[in-house]
Amino acid sequence: MFHYALSRVLWLLPTLLAMALVTFLVMHATPGSPLDPVAEGANPLSPEAQKNLAAHYGLDRPLHEQFVIFVTKALQGDFGNSFVYKTRTVREIILDTFPISLLLGSMALALAVVGGLTLGILAAVYQNRTWDYLSVSLATIGVAVPNFVLAVFLIILFSFILPLFPTGGWDSPRNWVLPTVALALAPMGIIARFTRASMLEVIRADYTLTARAKGLGEVPVIFKHALKNAFIPVVTLLGPMFAAVGTGSFFVESIFRVPGMGRFFVLSMTGRDYPMIMAVVLTYGAFLALMNLVVDLLYGVLDPRIRY
């Protein structure tokens, strides 16, 4: 397993390099510049000022030189200065915002896993009965309703009609409840649907029927035999799902005023903040690759027959 994990980690470097190259080419192929009047909003720069800033940021150099300079500095942990937030470096912004997005995403994924597994198990055990219909309905609503719509609904219900939680902020654990629920509902629905489908397949398997025939109780059959095997397809989802919610959600963070990385990323896209865009994409790529590695290693824990 050690050699397998080591080889996967070594493959991470060329993968991130390819991601950086593709992102870099797409950014520079997009019309416009971070120094043009559209990006500067109400304070357009003169042509001479744009020329001086382009020389300052190195945007006047050939593309291949810009890319080599960026990769060289990125390997040292230096992503340069932000074009939009001119007084801050990209590294400072990432270090300040990524832990907040990661905490919010971790809480949302934990809630999604607990709720999704519960709904999926109930739907499978009580197939075609009330619990099944209720679980499938909740899962469908979770997938169908966008998180920004759910966020507004939660604020109206639990901040105005029932004033239980604040409308936003990140100062206390009470502020974390609504954004966590808003971000967790969609992953919860997906996990519930996959758990139900996997459980229905495993419950009908020969070894499950044999366990019942030997007199084993229903609870041990479900949680010791069925769930462990049915959880393998669900684990496959958790890697990319955690990478998606753990690196920031623009709508949820904006609506609840969460100072996370998602909001900065969207603002950097509108302002063509090249260093910020590259840093966030590489952060997401590295996080996704590591989560996929963790998922692959968990396969061997859940199923001893899997070897690397």
CATH code of residue 246: 1.10.3720.10
**Assigned domain for 14 exists:** no
**Assigned domain for 233 exists:** yes
Alpha carbons 178 and 33: distance in angstroms, whole number: 38
**Assigned domain for 253 exists:** yes
Report the percentage of the chain scoring pLDDT > 70: 92
Whole-model pTM: value is 0.83
**Assigned domain for 283 exists:** no
Q: How many domains does the chain have?
A: 1
Q: Tell me the residue range of the domain where 202 lies.
A: 98-261
Looking at residue 88, its pLDDT comes to 82
The answer to whether the beta carbons of residues 255 and 151 sit under 8 Å apart is: yes
Looking at residue 81, its pLDDT comes to 82
Give the chain's length.
Answer: 308
Alpha carbons 17 and 75: distance in angstroms, whole number: 11
**Assigned domain for 184 exists:** yes
**Assigned domain for 118 exists:** yes
Which of residues 60 and 44 earns the better pLDDT score?
60
**Assigned domain for 149 exists:** yes
**Assigned domain for 174 exists:** yes
